[in-house]
């Protein structure tokens, strides 16, 4: 992807910190409104798209074509009675939804929406603020959000929410390692950690072309980070009732849902910033001289985010939930080793080729295709790994008695249920004869 040949006014770190207080307040309110509006649209779009894929109608009662269904659901949750179960740690139980929502909103402070524009005569970047380590700020602040999930599960005083919270801890820790290594490859190529600098570094070529393995690994990791299907194991209703928010209702439950959808928007915006040129227009729109100036970049940025949001919905509709061992094997045995190897490859290419941009781009793109093929092959092998037959497993140390504890338990791998010699009942014999 290439951008317009016309020079674009990219913000730098020196452009931040000079806005008057009222302009900062306007931008903060605009960012918050963007984050609240997107979940309302996303919930409705998810229900409509899933209904379309499953040959159903979907919401069509509240408002024109059901367009006000998300708003009605939000009002209903806010007005429902909030029930606090007996035995919960009340302070932490009430604080957990707030801990989940606040970091999700704060992470968007360093996301760039566009270039320098004029607002009431003041030249300001379409970005609330930026830091020399802006991407690391996003990674750190979103990591705090998992404490809301863990504390919600622990403070509920119930077994299934606790298991959901523990699963979420292991899940986020595992996939944040792979995600951080993806960031390292971008930092090496862009020579900066600020989000505005990374967007400016993609003026000629987007990193989805030069760092394709990082993009693929990040796309997988961001689904795991947001607890979305097929990686929604902390909320696995088939095993854990409802997961970490089983004991929550009313507005507290709505806050967990709001945090989930805001996190989806945040990781999508970060993927857009790091790999899809940020707010820069895609080709062939970039041929137009004014595509990357003024307020138009907000439109391109929002459309790119919604491409990822559609993929989130598509995955939920199409794929079944993974087993927990498959999910952990994917993170620790595939994504982390390959991501670490790819960071070393990017570093070697940068040192060996030097400042020859065209040569470095071609070598990085070719190496990226090879490593991406390796990722896809490793995922295919992992998902199709056959189960070890019981005959090849080590025999159990002692004879297995399924009723030893007073209730039946399934056998472990390598254990065989004892054969029963009890004659069948008359009913069973008649059924077998029939």
pLDDT tens, 113-151?
999 999 988 899 999 999 999 999 999 998 888 888 889
Peptide bond connecting 284 to the previous residue in cis, omega within 30 degrees of 0: yes
Q: Is the CA virtual torsion 195, 111, 173, 171 positive or negative?
A: negative
What's the Rg (C-alpha) of the chain? 26
First to last CA, the chain: 68
From 227-231, 306-310, 369-373, the region with the lowest mean pLDDT: 227-231
Read off the pLDDT band of 425 (50, 70, 90): low
Mean pLDDT of 184-210: 92
pLDDT-derived band at 232 (thresholds 50, 70, 90) equals confident
Residue 187: the pLDDT is 93
pLDDT band at 397 (very low <50, low <70, confident <90, very high): very low
Cα–Cα distance measured from residue 334 to residue 324, given in angstroms and rounded to the nearest whole number: 15
pLDDT above 50: residue 6: no
pTM across the whole model: 0.84
Q: Within 10 Å of residue 431's Cβ, how many Cβ atoms?
A: 10
Q: Work out the mean pLDDT of the chain and round it to a whole number.
A: 86
The predicted pLDDT at position 382 comes to: 78
Which of 4-8, 308-312, 378-382, 384-388 is predicted with the least confidence, judged by mean pLDDT?
4-8
Residue 84: closest CA among 300, 248, 322, 319: 248
Residue burial 3-40, b: 16+ Cβ < 10 Å; e: rest: bbeeebebbeeebbeebeeeeeeebeeebeebbeebbb
Beta strands in 310-359 (DSSP E): none
| Helical (H) or strand (E) element with 189 | helix 159-190
Contacts of 87 (CB under 8 A, 6+ apart): 157
Q: pLDDT tens, 241-266?
A: 778 888 898 899 999 999 999 999 99
Integer Cα distance of 263 and 39 in angstroms: 10
Lowest mean pLDDT among 238-242, 388-392, 413-417: 388-392
């Amino acid at each position: 992807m290439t951008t317009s040949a016309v020079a674009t006014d990219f913000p730098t770190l020196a452009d931040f910190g000079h806005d008057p207080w009222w302009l900062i307040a306007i931008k903060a309110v605009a960012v918050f409104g963007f984050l609240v509006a997107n979940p309302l649209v996303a919930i409705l779009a998810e229900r409509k798209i899933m209904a379309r894929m499953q040959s159903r109608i979907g919401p069509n009662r509240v408002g024109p074509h059901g367009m006000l269904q998300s708003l009605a659901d939000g009002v209903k949750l806010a007005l429902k009675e909030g029930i606090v179960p007996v035995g919960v740690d009340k302070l932490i139980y009430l604080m957990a939804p707030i801990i989940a929502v606040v970091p999700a909103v704060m992470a968007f402070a360093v996301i760039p929406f566009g270039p320098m524009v004029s607002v009431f005569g003041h030249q300001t970047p379409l970005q609330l603020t930026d830091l020399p380590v802006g991407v690391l700020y996003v990674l750190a602040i979103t990591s705090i959000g998992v404490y809301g999930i863990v504390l919600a599960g622990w403070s509920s005083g119930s077994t299934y929410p606790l298991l959901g919270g523990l699963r979420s801890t292991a899940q986020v820790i595992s996939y944040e390692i792979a995600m951080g290594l993806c960031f390292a490859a971008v930092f090496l190529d862009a020579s900066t950690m600020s989000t505005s600098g990374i967007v400016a570094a993609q003026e000629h070529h987007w990193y989805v072309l030069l760092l394709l393995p990082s993009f693929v690994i990040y796309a997988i990791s961001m689904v795991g980070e947001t607890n979305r299907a097929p990686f929604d194991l902390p909320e696995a209703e088939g095993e854990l009732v409802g997961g970490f928010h089983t004991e929550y209702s009313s507005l507290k439950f709505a806050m967990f849902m709001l945090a989930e959808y805001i996190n989806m928007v945040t990781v999508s915006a970060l993927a857009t910033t790091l790999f899809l040129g940020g707010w820069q227009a895609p080709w062939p729109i970039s041929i137009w001289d004014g595509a990357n100036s003024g307020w138009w970049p907000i439109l391109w940025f929002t459309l790119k985010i919604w491409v990822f949001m559609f993929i989130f919905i598509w995955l939920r509709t199409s794929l079944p939930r993974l087993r927990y061992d498959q999910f952990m094997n994917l993170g620790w045995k595939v994504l982390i080793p390959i991501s670490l190897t790819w960071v070393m490859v990017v570093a070697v290419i940068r040192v060996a080729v030097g400042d020859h941009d065209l040569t470095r781009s071609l070598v990085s793109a070719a190496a990226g295709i090879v490593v991406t093929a390796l990722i896809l092959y490793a995922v295919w092998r992992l998902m199709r790994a056959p189960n070890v037959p019981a005959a090849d497993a080590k025999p159990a140390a002692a004879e297995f008695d399924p009723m030893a504890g007073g209730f039946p338990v399934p056998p472990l791998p390598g254990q065989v249920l004892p054969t029963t010699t009890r004659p069948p009942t008359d009913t069973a014999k008649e059924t077998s004869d029939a």
